[in-house]
Amino acid sequence: MKSPNKDSLFVATFKDGSDTEWETILPCKTSTYDRIVTSPSGLYLININDCCFVEPKLKRVTSFPWKPVNKYSALAFIDGKIFAFGGNRASKSVKSINLQESNPEWKSEQEMLHAVDRPHIVQIANKVYAFDGWRTTVTQEFDPASNEWRMRSQMPGDCYYGAAVALGDKIYVVGGEVRACYSYDPENDEWKVLSKPTHEYYNNAATVWRGRILIGNEKHVEEYDPVDDRWSNRDDLLPDGGIKNMILHASCTI
């Protein structure tokens, strides 16, 4: 995805072949956005008062009514709803909104045990995990079946401005200004420190693609191989032309 100016948004797919090729499949007018939430079928583009849902496969954009939420919260799509975790520079708050309802409103959910702002949120094996946050390395696990949170082993270091993804049976927290790369085993509640990426990132994006992890921004893209614990330069994946914001989101449905 690339945004060459403040008024236009272009969603593109990467075609893997003999040459690197990006195809613009959905130009759409939108106001500037500052938050993006990924879901299995598309992307929610969000600013303070607006939300639109982009479905690249169908080449369709749908606008939804949107109610403002704390700008320091972390947004994630879980079980058909958008959740907001933390906020206010330190909050235990968890809220959800179902945009399919006729008059969607934010509803309070079970609070976290530790106050955080902008944690990394990952869903894996029917559990939800909240990592990190501003000046904290806490790990919190939520079990929807029991509607309860519990504290887990702390991260080996912080990764503010980074990202987290699930790959296989593990969670990886990567990037940020500290060039972090940690793996977490939820079943055994164990962390490992892995090889660092080459570049520092501020609010980098991350996604899983073909069994590896991609992180990047408008300047660099790197690929992590968890088998060899090795990072590789993938600047060849950067689209041509000026890019002000790029969000990496891989999907076999696109």
Residue 36 maps to a domain:
yes
Residue 76 maps to a domain:
yes
Residue 234 maps to a domain:
yes
Closest Cα partner for 176 from 164, 159, 192, 188? 159
CATH classification at residue 21: 2.120.10.80
Mean pLDDT calculated for residue range 142-166: 93
**Which pLDDT tens digit goes with each residue over 107-129?**
999 999 999 888 999 999 999 99
Residue 254 maps to a domain:
no
216 pLDDT more than 50: yes
Least confident of 27-31, 87-91, 132-136: 27-31
Query: CA of 81: how far to CAs of 38, 40, 95, 116, 238, in Å?
Result: 11, 12, 10, 21, 31
Owning domain of residue 67:
8-248
Count of domains observed in the chain: 1
pLDDT band of residue 210 (cuts 50, 70, 90) is confident
Least confident of 94-103, 109-118, 192-201, 232-241: 232-241
Average pLDDT, the chain: 84
Mean pLDDT calculated for residue range 209-235: 92
Instruction: Return the number of other C-beta atoms located less than 10 Å from residue 163's C-beta.
Output: 22
Q: Give the pLDDT confidence score for residue 7 in this predicted structure.
A: 44
Q: Give the pLDDT confidence score for residue 117 in this predicted structure.
A: 83
176 or 20: whose pLDDT is higher? 176
The residue type found at 252 is: C
